[in-house]
């Protein structure tokens, strides 16, 4: 039995180059869902036309897309950590991972509230105005305040890791800091504020795909950069 065990050949798992597409997928799905949801909600919180009118289909599409966007974001976090490799710092990596997971939690919770309000508004007799207003405001607060702030913390911690390790160019680090400060400072329910984060994820993912030669894994390039340094 021991001889059979020794004859076995084990291979170390490596992240494929195509995994960087997860960030692009997140950016596309999250942007579509966010735009559909925000543009459908009426500006007047007392109005219930979006929940019970013909725009219900757009909200349903947004609720279907957002979970897949969250799954893609988890893959994106894995790609980023694989890129860092053994250069990962425990403190900043913990903050990065925690803020990323909290961003996902806030996003899923806000979508859950939107789905609950949509289900209540399905029956006009049960669509009480106060419930619709409460659900709408809770969803916007989660999405536009707490989730956006966690996205900013995620970007700052990751930008600091890139700055200290030199894994990313300084220009991308500066852009990351600027976008992160914008998300932390600006408080607005505008759809354009929420689109800053997926735009940044798209930029990082495109850079990863553009700088990796065909047939190269993310882990392999990170190890090569570490040996060169």
Where is pLDDT greater, at 30 or 219?
A: 30
Reported pTM: 0.80
pLDDT exceeds 60 at position 54: yes
Where is pLDDT greater, at 16 or 154?
A: 154
Instruction: Name residues whose C-beta falls within 8 Å of residue 194's C-beta, 6 or more positions apart in sequence.
Output: 34, 38, 143, 144, 148
Asked whether 167 and 92 are in contact (CB, 8 A), the reply is: no
Least confident of 79-88, 92-101, 103-112, 196-205: 79-88
Asked whether 58 and 40 are in contact (CB, 8 A), the reply is: yes
pLDDT in tens, 194-208: 899 999 999 999 988
Would you tell me how many other CB atoms lie within 10 Å of the CB of residue 37?
Answer: 25
Give me the mean pLDDT over the 185-191 stretch.
75
pLDDT in tens, 142-153: 888 899 999 999
Least confident of 17-31, 48-62, 73-87, 151-165: 48-62
Give the per-residue pLDDT at 109.
Answer: 93
The separation between CA 178 and the C-alpha centre of its own chain, rounded to angstroms, equals: 18
The separation between CA 134 and the C-alpha centre of its own chain, rounded to angstroms, equals: 25
Provide the strand spans (E) within the chain.
none
Distance CA 186, CA 42 (A): 22
Distance CA 160, CA 164 (A): 6
pLDDT in tens, 141-185: 888 889 999 999 999 999 999 998 888 899 999 999 999 999 998
Give the per-residue pLDDT at 151.
Answer: 94
Give the per-residue pLDDT at 53.
Answer: 62
pLDDT band at residue 214 under the 50/70/90 scheme: very low
Query: What residue ranges do the domains of the chain occupy?
Result: 20-222
pLDDT band at residue 211 under the 50/70/90 scheme: confident
């Amino acid at each position: 039995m021991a001889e059979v065990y020794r004859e076995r050949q084990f291979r170390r798992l490596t992240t494929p180059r195509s995994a960087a597409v997860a960030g692009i997928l997140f950016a596309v799905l999250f942007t579509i869902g966010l735009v559909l949801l925000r543009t459908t909600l009426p500006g007047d919180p007392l109005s219930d036309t979006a929940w019970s009118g013909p725009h219900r289909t757009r909200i349903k599409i947004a609720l279907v897309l957002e979970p897949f966007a969250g799954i893609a974001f988890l893959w994106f976090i894995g790609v980023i950590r694989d890129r860092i490799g053994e250069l990962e710092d425990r403190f900043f990596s913990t903050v990065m991972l925690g803020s990323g997971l909290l961003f996902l939690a806030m996003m899923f919770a806000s979508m859950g509230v939107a789905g609950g309000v949509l289900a209540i508004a399905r029956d006009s007799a049960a669509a009480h105005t106060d419930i619709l207003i409460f659900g709408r405001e809770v969803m916007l607060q989660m999405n536009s305040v707490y989730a956006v702030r966690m996205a900013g913390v995620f970007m700052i911690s990751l930008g600091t890791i890139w700055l200290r390790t030199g894994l990313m160019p300084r220009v991308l680090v500066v852009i990351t800091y600027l976008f992160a400060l914008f998300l932390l400072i600006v408080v607005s329910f505008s759809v354009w504020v929420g689109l800053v984060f997926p735009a940044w994820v798209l930029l990082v993912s495109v850079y990863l795909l553009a700088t990796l030669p065909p047939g190269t894994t993310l882990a392999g390039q990170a190890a090569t950069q570490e040996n060169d340094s």
